Structure 1
Amino acid sequence: MSHTAIGIAPRFKGKRNRLDKPELLAPAGNLEKLKFAVHYGADAVYIGGQKYGLRSNADNFSFEEMREGVAFAAKYGAKVFVATNIYAHQEDLDGIAEYLRELENAGIAAIIAADPAIVETAQKYAPKLEVHLSTQQSTMNWQAVQFWKEEGLPRVVLARETTMDEIRGMKEKVDVELEVFIHGAMCSSVSGRCVLSNHFTDRDSNRGGCCQSCRWKYDLRADEESVAEPGQNPFTMSAKDLCMIRHVPDLIDAGVDSFKIEGRMKSIHYVASVVNAYRQAIDAYMADPEGYELRQEWVDEIGKAANRPLNTGFFYSVPGAEEHIYEAEEKPAPYDFAAIVTGYDAESGIATVQQRSPFRPGMEVEFIGPGGRCFTQTVGDMTDEAGQPLTVARHPLQLIKLSTDKPVEPLDMMRKRLH
């Protein structure tokens, strides 16, 4: 690889290179999540194949599922990217060229890579694939961005530790697309480069096996004795989650080309809700920057899916001790995903829904759909497919008929209030 980019003077001045509209990039741990992410407004999704990615515990995609996902996304004008972001040992590279060619043949638009060996192999053997530099490379300065541009990469995914001012500086100096994490889990290690998982469980974080050891509970000990205060709870090393829904204008004005949401292991409800909120915020700002106002329902929508405390990461300041979670880290989200709408009869006002968690008549629920469609109602009488009355929907994936106060559409979601 060429090293001529290091230390060169800025080449790019004047108008910043950027996509016409910021891309909203969503995670998809399986095919169903891909379809919901796209349906709820994602411009692109990133997935994992069955090799070379850092989420080996996700369902991940076969080549057949990739082709189906690409075809579905294309109907919405959306793209599919594949994470091939491991740091490879020599044995990991066996078959990588064939794998990348299969991705190209499946219609994948880009791979996300960290290892230079995978970058060069893709450029040589699958030239139709764009190569986007993974956040695992910890890119935090414009010279590094320029280096990867010189190597032929059209996009760099910045380290989570990058500040808003640094992003502006990169965009002013380098003509390249910048992708930035704007929502989701943060790593306690620098850009995900962690060896705690290796140490505790022999599962390599940088080869896809992270056991999320930062979220375990720990005690502080000296000479085999605990030095914690009596009654003190064990602590975690877990960081608060990132949320930039209140700062979409800053991200756009800084020149961020792709708004990336973390969470390939998250639920359909989480992915759809978060995408839905950011989609509306981005569209509203792009339509009228001067008249833009943050809407509380976007913030509320994020809160209905979140289960950890939120902050703004490194964008405005270095997180301090208060930005970590020391007590029990997870709290139940106030709503639970209950059903997916599969059909609606406008004449009778009866919807058919597929059960995803138990619900019953008399329960307060919300129906939500793309673009901010949302209404609350109480579940009334309901029946199974054969018309037999039901007192509770308790069977996973069971099809149930019930009346709705307003029209609904296929792939709308029904969620129930928990507290």
Structure 2
Amino acid sequence: MVTTQTAHRYKGKRNRLDKPELLAPAGNLEKLKFAVHYGADAVYIGGQKYGLRSGADNFSFAEMKEGVEFAKQYGAKVFVATNIYAHNEDVSGLEDYLRELENAGIAAIIAADPIIIETAQRVAPKLEVHLSTQQSTMNWQAVQFWKEEGLPRVVLAREASLEEIEQIKAHVDVEIEAFIHGAMCSSFSGRCVLSNHFTDRDSNRGGCCQSCRWKYDIYEDDIQMVGMEADQFTMGSKDLCMLEHIPDLIDVGVDSFKIEGRMKSLHYVATVVNAYRQAIDSYMADPENYELKQVWQDDIQKAANRPLNTGFFYDTPGAEDHIYEPEDKAAPYDFAGVVVSYDEASGTAVIQQRNHFKPGQEVEFFGPNGTFFKQTVEAIADTDGNVLDAARHPLQHVVIRTESPVKPMDMMRKRVR
């Protein structure tokens, strides 16, 4: 993997060597289950109110309860984002909503608005309250303030550096959560109002239209600038990736490694979680002899939507850390299927199709328990034994022979370029 900023080891003091939490996004119940199965210690989701991803599927209370029960089997937790800045009309029903979260077994909410924080502490005391990154917290005095308000965890602004995190941990005994992978905001995180002005969709109430990703022309005094007619540009930031720098994040004391992406695909969530899980576990098992493996970096690229960099952790991003040209978002692999079952005697697997594939194509299997191999698809049959020329129907169950054993919830992907 190539980042735009120089890969270098942070030179600060090693604060501690505790295993951090790996926190994954889950836009729906299926993504929650795969995130946990692929190694997340906790997942964050959105309910049907008070969250900043109104475009995600989001969870009913019944789905939350099912998700909590599934996570418990793995020793994992479920958090709910209630991170809007509320207007007067948003407050009605807040108390009942927070009580329902508590009753569903949710471990914590992620909140920015003081009224949501105070209400949760008052009516749902079993819910931990984690301060959202929407508060743009970057200094230890502010972190100390929120600790004194009873919050055990602060999600720092994406603009915080490793040096600033180290200073915060030196001054305040509080859990620090930091984004370590995913989309970045081209403005100061959480403060953009372009979406509000362009589309009347409020970014701070869950309606961001990602206007920084649109294509623009340059004008001056209503005249399109000479030579720019064909050169549309965007203002979007490159995506964050700290896979190469796991030791630095652990050394400075980040307690929770947060992956962005409740709107991302099932394949993206499983792939990214799997890569970070392996890197974290490998480092914690033998810090002195830790080596970043190329296979982890390659896997990230198989799910990456944009060019990657290290955000604000080492340096302030410059012009080279934004995307001005039309971007090629296509990852080199498509998610092709999920293993439903495997028959050891015949060496065949039942695959739930997620994207078209056919005999003769090279596919790759991967999973959280060490499954990783490539093969060419031979014959495809339906579950009644009828031979098929392709797996062409979404969610269809088909049978193929696999060259190595696979497990339920292992994934199959195909190269597309």
Q: Same fold judged by TM-score > 0.5?
A: yes
1:202 paired with 2:200, answer yes
Shift of 1:58: 0.2
SS of residue matched to 1:38? helix
Greater shift in the superposed pair: 148-157 or 18-27: 18-27
**Alignment-derived partner of residue 41 in structure 1:** 39
1:22 paired with 2:20, answer yes
Change (3 A) 1:99 1:230: closer
Change (3 A) 1:80 1:228: farther
Correspondent of 1:160 among 158, 161, 171? 158
RMSD: 1.3
Count of residue pairs brought into register by the alignment: 405
Provide the rounded CA distance (Å) in 1 between the counterparts of 2:69 and 2:294.
35
Change (3 A) 1:312 1:228: farther
Determine if contact 2:21/2:42 at 8 Å carries over to the other structure: yes
Correspondent of 2:250 among 249, 252, 255? 252
Determine if contact 1:19/1:257 at 8 Å carries over to the other structure: no
**Alignment-derived partner of residue 305 in structure 1:** 303
Shift of 1:85: 0.1
The one-letter amino acid of 1:384's match is D
The one-letter amino acid of 1:101's match is R
Identity within the alignment, %: 74
**Alignment-derived partner of residue 30 in structure 2:** 32
The one-letter amino acid of 1:331's match is K
Q: Structure 2 stretches of 5 or more lacking a match?
A: 1-12
Provide the rounded CA distance (Å) in 1 between the counterparts of 2:228 and 2:58.
45
Shift of 1:231: 5.3
Shift of 1:360: 0.1
**Alignment-derived partner of residue 344 in structure 1:** 342
Correspondent of 1:406 among 399, 404, 414? 404
Determine if contact 1:26/1:271 at 8 Å carries over to the other structure: yes
Determine if contact 2:17/2:251 at 8 Å carries over to the other structure: no
TM-score if structure 1 supplies the norm length? 0.95
Q: Structure 1 stretches of 5 or more lacking a match?
A: 1-13
| Matches for 1:346-385 after TM superposition, within 5 Å | 346-385=344-383
The one-letter amino acid of 2:274's match is N
SS of residue matched to 2:287? coil
The one-letter amino acid of 2:80's match is V
User: What are the Cα deviations for residues 102-144 of structure 1, in whole angstroms up to 9, with x where unaligned?
Assistant: 0000000000000000000000000000000000000000000
Provide the rounded CA distance (Å) in 1 between the counterparts of 2:72 and 2:228.
59
**Alignment-derived partner of residue 290 in structure 1:** 288
Shift of 1:188: 1.0
The one-letter amino acid of 2:28's match is N
SS of residue matched to 1:191? coil
SS of residue matched to 1:178? strand
**Alignment-derived partner of residue 126 in structure 1:** 124
| Matches for 1:174-189 after TM superposition, within 5 Å | 174-189=172-187
| Matches for 1:204-219 after TM superposition, within 5 Å | 204-219=202-217
Determine if contact 2:131/2:151 at 8 Å carries over to the other structure: yes
Determine if contact 1:198/1:204 at 8 Å carries over to the other structure: yes
Provide the rounded CA distance (Å) in 2 between the counterparts of 1:228 and 1:94.
53
Determine if contact 2:25/2:269 at 8 Å carries over to the other structure: yes
Determine if contact 1:132/1:157 at 8 Å carries over to the other structure: yes
SS of residue matched to 1:190? coil
Shift of 1:228: 4.6
Change (3 A) 1:196 1:363: same
Correspondent of 1:78 among 73, 76, 79? 76
**Alignment-derived partner of residue 220 in structure 2:** 222
Determine if contact 1:179/1:258 at 8 Å carries over to the other structure: yes
**Alignment-derived partner of residue 91 in structure 2:** 93
Determine if contact 2:351/2:399 at 8 Å carries over to the other structure: yes
